Structure 1
Amino acid sequence: MNPIQRSIGNIKQNYSDYKSLESKGKITFWKESLLNNALYILLIIAIIYTSFKNSNFLSAPSIVNIISLSAANLPIACGIAGCIVLTGTDLSAGRVVGLTACISASLLQAVTYATKMFPNLPVLPIPVVIIIVILVGGIVGWVNGFFVAKFKLHPFIVTLATQLIIYGFLLMYMMINGNNGQSLSGLDERFTKFVKGSVISVGGVAIPNYVWYACVVVIVMWFIWNKTTFGKNMFAVGSNPEAANVSGVNVMKTTILVHTLAGVMYGVTGFIEAARIGSNTANTGLNYESDAIAACVIGGVSFVGGTGKISGVVMGVFLLRIIFVALNFLSINMNMQYVIKGLIILVACAIDMRKYLVRK
């Protein structure tokens, strides 16, 4: 049975179950459905309202912009999603993105740029820089996973500590060779074209290359989560680490690998951000983790552990980015946008916990 047939079968079964309910049961069904999907309903209403207030919201340039902004955030969200599946989180993600972005920018500055951080260093091949930032991100992720798994520390505490450590390293890195914390810009043209160049246009609007890189990341992560032993072990550990250990799963190894993979995703995000932003500072990556966490929760990755889909993460990233772009089209004050972002996270977590308590 293919996925479409399975979905049709599930819809028929659910409809049959609904028809068999008494009137009180039907009222409860609709009440539960509305509460569980309240965030999606509000987002749809916001999209419709914004499109009426500003017709440019659903124009081709706006849609491509939403897709591009979402693609830039997909790798970090896919990384953090694995940590959430293990009932944890990762507060260091944004700072790792900032560090790897600044490393990428410093190694890929044009040789003719007047304030090049490493004036005697030629522009490195792009694959070499990708490997470097992946290693940096992976090492930070490995450290997070090791302390969580080995010493049974809560991921919140571990990643809060590494967040501060990485930020310290980032500030020191920005001072190298008399850079004195100046922004890293003047990037080599090959680098910017590799990330921001385009080979396909929609409605005359160019789609940047990093959208396709994000698609590759999503496919790889989907494969890892759904078609590998490691992916199955990750969900087993997230659901019940004791039961997973009894069934032969190496809980410590799985926890470390999940965080290491997350770190690799942060490195990929940093590489993309370096070129996308074009002028990187110590504040690059600030609060990126909050957007990624919100997107994961909206997409159904549960903090109770063992629940989540890559498709849900993608949906969550897109929905969150749509609402942020909508706020800009409505000329909502930036300070108020932080309030709304916090409320979205709070409501999403509350709905997620409510679903868990109902199932329990």
Structure 2
Amino acid sequence: MADTTRGPVMETGSGASGAHAHRPTALSLGLRLLNVGPLLILLLLVLVVSALTPNFLKPGNLGNILAQTAVIAIVAMGQQLVILTRGIDLSVGANLALATVMGGLVSRVVDSAPLVMLAMLAAGALVGAVNGLVYVFGRLPHPFIITLATLSICRGLALQFSINNTTMRGMPPAVTWLGESSALGLPNSFFVVAAVAAVLLVVTKFMVWGRWIYAVGGNPKAAVEMGIPVKWVVVSTYLIAGLCAGIGAVVLSGRTAASSPLYGNLLELDTIAAVIIGGASFLGGRGHLGHALVGALMIGVIRNALNLLNVGIFFQMIAIGLIIVVAVESDVLRNHLEARARVNQARGQ
């Protein structure tokens, strides 16, 4: 009897352990697919579009895509850092417009590319610093409030300082070279994107400050207990987001050889969409710069493909919106699978 009873128990235990052994494997596979999903979708999208429109893969068109997505990619990388801390910056588009106007005003006074670019970078960084300082030390419940306010303020200041001009023509040659010229078969703006990505990659992956950002976004209370300067880490992310808006202003004003208070319209939505479409999470503490870059490229490819297929602008907006919904649902599914994986791991232990 003892042997008979022990036999089934051993078999049941073996079966259970086998089931637990397979579940984490299936879950981990699902999580991996979700993590690389945006990149796979981008590659599939490129294959489909290239089959539908032979002009898509021509070097000139690919260069146009890189040039058109450069501003979104640069600003989205700053937005990525803010989202990592469970925040959001709605002011980046208006911030970029104000920065271009500041650069345009400086270019009218002095024909100096370094000073013009410095004015745009300083304007963007200043707005970002205001966002972070007011949010943190003003003890606002959510950054949505202050960044929505600065969105309106920056757009109003840009319109005021533009001296009733919707477009202010003229930029120093060095700025236009940076925005519209090419080198090695690639637009110069591509190298700006690569430089910003390289700097932020080093900062986030190999410096303590980068680990602090992930800690603050992952668990703010635990970060405080660990002695991390949470408030200043959050402020720094908004400052960098503003600086990225300033860099985007340099690229855009160089590409158009002009500044305008109307630039950056809905850029905040494009950058948020790029980050989320790329696979980052609104929950904070998870994601990397590759998400922003993949998302920006996906937006650029979709818009370019729909243009080549003569699809109206309204349908382009619908397509981007649908992709955002899919991306958010993918994030929800990823969180659910991760929770199940943790439960199964705990049961296995």
TM > 0.5 fold call:
yes
Opposite residue 100 of structure 2, the aligned amino acid is A
Which one has the bigger helix percentage? 2
- CA-to-aligned-CA distance 1:128-187 (integer Å, 9 cap, x gap): 222222221111111111122221431112211110111111111112xxxx22411133
- CA-to-aligned-CA distance 1:246-300 (integer Å, 9 cap, x gap): 0000111111111111111111111111111234332101111211111111222
Q: Percent identity?
A: 28
SS in 2 for 1:261: helix
- CA-to-aligned-CA distance 1:289-321 (integer Å, 9 cap, x gap): 211111111222211110111223222222221
Tell me the equivalent position of 1:112.
none
Tell me the equivalent position of 2:145.
157
Matched, 1:227 2:206: yes
Tell me the equivalent position of 1:289.
268
Give the C-alpha shift of residue 196 in structure 1.
2.3
Give the C-alpha shift of residue 215 in structure 1.
1.1
Kindly tell me: are residues 20 and 71 of structure 1, through their superposed partners in 2, closer, same or farther at Cα, counting changes over 3 Å? same
Separation (CA, whole Å) in 1 of partners of 2:285 and 2:321 = 24
Tell me the equivalent position of 2:45.
46
Matched, 1:181 2:153: no
Give the C-alpha shift of residue 209 in structure 1.
1.9
Matched, 1:145 2:137: no
Q: 2:331 aligns with which of 342, 345, 352?
A: 352
Separation (CA, whole Å) in 1 of partners of 2:177 and 2:40 = 39
Give the C-alpha shift of residue 43 in structure 1.
4.2
Separation (CA, whole Å) in 2 of partners of 1:223 and 1:95 = 28
Alignment of 1:270-349 (within 5 A): 270-349=249-328
Opposite residue 146 of structure 2, the aligned amino acid is V
Separation (CA, whole Å) in 1 of partners of 2:157 and 2:225 = 40
The answer to whether the 8 Å contact 2:302/2:316 transfers is: no
RMSD over aligned CA atoms reads 2.5
The answer to whether the 8 Å contact 2:166/2:262 transfers is: no
Number of equivalenced pairs: 321
The answer to whether the 8 Å contact 1:39/1:347 transfers is: no
Kindly tell me: are residues 214 and 28 of structure 1, through their superposed partners in 2, closer, same or farther at Cα, counting changes over 3 Å? closer
Kindly tell me: are residues 19 and 192 of structure 1, through their superposed partners in 2, closer, same or farther at Cα, counting changes over 3 Å? farther
Tell me the equivalent position of 1:4.
none
The answer to whether the 8 Å contact 2:31/2:337 transfers is: no
Tell me the equivalent position of 2:184.
200
Separation (CA, whole Å) in 2 of partners of 1:139 and 1:338 = 31
Give the C-alpha shift of residue 329 in structure 1.
1.4
SS in 1 for 2:228: coil
TM-score in terms of structure 2 length: 0.84
Tell me the equivalent position of 1:96.
95
Kindly tell me: are residues 227 and 41 of structure 1, through their superposed partners in 2, closer, same or farther at Cα, counting changes over 3 Å? closer
In structure 1, runs of 5+ residues without a counterpart are 1-17, 109-117, 202-206
TM-score in terms of structure 1 length: 0.81
